[in-house]
């Protein structure tokens, strides 16, 4: 665990531009909407023959993954390449930290390579904040998932997917289902949905997988799928985070599937045009049945496509904020 400071003091410039992207919590609605608007234009661009823009030309993006990932790492890599950046992928899981190098030494080494942006995934909550506090002022830090705390680009790609299919957030009832306790995705989704004005946010989980005081985030809590899914517009399933479960929180996977696994029968509780999402990787037959995951209401693959566009939007905005900040700093220096 790392110490926490006010994230917005860190992630925004003095005139409110994005400089690092660490959490969706507390970011203003206008900024979230701007990210979605920019991402929309990148989705359109990805349908063109030439998929590249020069927004990050001459910049170096280092993907620092202290924890394994397939889709997040590969979509960040593609996003950086489509912005014309040079990209360095460091799977730190298997490199220097294993040899005893400290995080600060790893950072200093990368700074000496003149990286302009660090995309960070780490098993400890607060790691991206810590790095943003300790990097030189001209490096932007993007959180690609820290412990159970936050996964802000995942939440924003989910928001983009919802907006592209449903339009306005205000009339929507959204249910987040499954292992809320261990989920950085759920926390970031809840903050983003609230800020964007979703009508009603529900969480559905067994008591053992609900964090204490989750209601304080502004959600309605259900432990029963039939009641929780009634009339919802969007169902966001979560993966059972078995690697994070220190004790037996569940009787068994098959029991979980019986009560909370999304199949056709449970989907029928939701509105007839309800859509189904999942951040992946999916555990078929544990949280979701293949028939639903691969069915016409599933947006799971759209989420992957939209992930590239959202990551392009976040990276280009953070780089813009970083450069604006640098301009401010050098004016101060001149004064």
Residues labelled as active-site residues: 71-72, 99, 121, 151
Q: Note whether 311 binds ligand NCD by CB under 6 A.
A: no
Which residue in this structure is represented by tokens 């905005």?
Answer: 317
Q: Closest separation between CB of residue 279 and ligand NCD, Å?
A: 4
Residue in the shown chain whose Cβ atom is closest to ligand NCD: 239
Number of residues that bind ligand NCD (CB under 6 A): 11
**First and final C-alpha spacing in the chain:** 39
**Closest by Cα among 213, 166, 212 to 193:** 166
Site for ligand NCD in 146-165 (CB under 6 A): 151, 154
Q: Please tell me whether 154 is known to bind a ligand.
A: yes
Q: Please tell me whether 258 is known to bind a ligand.
A: no
Q: Note whether 201 binds ligand NCD by CB under 6 A.
A: no
Site for ligand NCD in 212-241 (CB under 6 A): 239, 241
Which of residues 151 and 202 has its CB atom nearest to ligand NCD in the complex?
Answer: 151
Whether cis (ω within 30° of 0) applies to the bond prior to 281 is yes
Cα 226 to Cα 52, 75, 221, 240, 272: the distances in Å are 46, 35, 13, 20, 15
Q: Please tell me whether 184 is known to bind a ligand.
A: yes
d(C-alpha 282, C-alpha 267), whole Å: 17
Identify the residue among 19, 184, 202, 266 touching ligand NCD (CB under 6 A).
184
d(C-alpha 170, C-alpha 198), whole Å: 5
Dihedral of alpha carbons 288, 290, 292, 294, sign: positive
Q: Note whether 185 binds ligand NCD by CB under 6 A.
A: yes
Which of residues 211 and 280 has its CB atom nearest to ligand NCD in the complex?
Answer: 280
Site for ligand NCD in 37-76 (CB under 6 A): 71-72
Q: Closest separation between CB of residue 48 and ligand NCD, Å?
A: 26
Q: Note whether 145 binds ligand NCD by CB under 6 A.
A: yes
Q: Please tell me whether 230 is known to bind a ligand.
A: no
Q: Closest separation between CB of residue 104 and ligand NCD, Å?
A: 25
Burial of 87 (0-12, 13-18, 19+ CB in 10 A): buried
Which of residues 111 and 302 has its CB atom nearest to ligand NCD in the complex?
Answer: 302
Sequence length of the chain is 335
Which of residues 231 and 243 has its CB atom nearest to ligand NCD in the complex?
Answer: 243
Site for ligand NCD in 263-292 (CB under 6 A): 279-280
Q: Closest separation between CB of residue 99 and ligand NCD, Å?
A: 25
CB contact at 8 A, 219 and 232: no
Go through 163-188 and write b for each residue having 16 or more CB atoms within 10 A of its CB, e for each that does not.
bbebeebeebbbbbbbbbbbbbbbbb
φ/ψ region of 45 (left if φ > 0, alpha if ψ in -120 to 50, else beta) reads alpha
Q: E strands within 264-321? A: 275-277
Cα torsion 77, 79, 85, 89 to 10°: value is -10
Q: In 12-88, where does DSSP find H-type helix?
A: 29-46, 71-82
CB contact at 8 A, 229 and 270: yes
Which of residues 236 and 318 has its CB atom nearest to ligand NCD in the complex?
Answer: 236
Report the binding-site residues for carbamoyl phosphate: 71-72, 121, 151, 154, 280-281
The footprint of ligand NCD (CB under 6 A) covers 71-72, 145, 151, 154, 184-185, 239, 241, 279-280
Report the binding-site residues for L-aspartate: 99, 184, 239
Report the binding-site residues: 71-72, 99, 121, 151, 154, 184, 239, 280-281
């Amino acid at each position: 665990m790392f110490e926490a400071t006010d994230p917005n003091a860190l992630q925004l410039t003095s005139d409110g531009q994005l400089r690092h992207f660490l959490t969706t919590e507390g970011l203003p609605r206008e900024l979230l909407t701007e990210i979605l608007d920019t991402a929309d234009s990148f989705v359109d661009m990805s349908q063109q023959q030439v998929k590249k823009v020069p927004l990050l030309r001459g910049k170096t993006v280092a993907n620092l993954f202290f924890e394994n990932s397939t889709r997040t790492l590969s979509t960040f890599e593609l996003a950086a390449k489509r912005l014309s950046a040079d990209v360095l992928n460091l799977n730190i899981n298997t490199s220097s930290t294993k040899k005893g190098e400290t995080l600060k030494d790893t950072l200093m080494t990368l700074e000496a390579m003149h990286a302009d942006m660090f995309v960070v995934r780490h098993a400890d909550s607060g790691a991206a904040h810590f790095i943003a506090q300790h990097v030189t002022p001209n490096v932007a830090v993007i959180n690609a998932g820290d412990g159970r705390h936050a996964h802000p680009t995942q939440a924003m790609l989910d928001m983009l997917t919802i907006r592209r299919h449903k339009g306005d957030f205000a009339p929507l009832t959204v249910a987040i289902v499954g292992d809320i306790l261990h989920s950085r995705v759920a926390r970031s989704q809840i903050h983003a949905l609230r800020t964007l004005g979703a009508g009603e946010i529900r969480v559905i989980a067994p008591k053992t997988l609900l964090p204490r005081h989750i209601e304080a985030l502004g959600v309605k809590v259900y432990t029963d799928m039939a009641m929780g899914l009634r009339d919802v517009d969007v169902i966001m399933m979560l993966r059972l985070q078995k690697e994070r479960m220190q004790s037996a929180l569940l009787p068994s996977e098959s029991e979980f599937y019986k009560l909370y696994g999304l199949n056709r029968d449970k989907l029928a509780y939701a509105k007839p045009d309800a859509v189904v999402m999942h951040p992946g990787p999916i555990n078929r037959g544990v949280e979701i049945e293949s028939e639903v995951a691969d069915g016409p209401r599933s947006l799971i693959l759209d989420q992957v496509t939209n992930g590239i566009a959202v990551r392009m939007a976040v990276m280009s905005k953070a780089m813009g904020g970083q450069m604006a900040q640098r301009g401010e700093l050098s004016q101060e220096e001149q004064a």
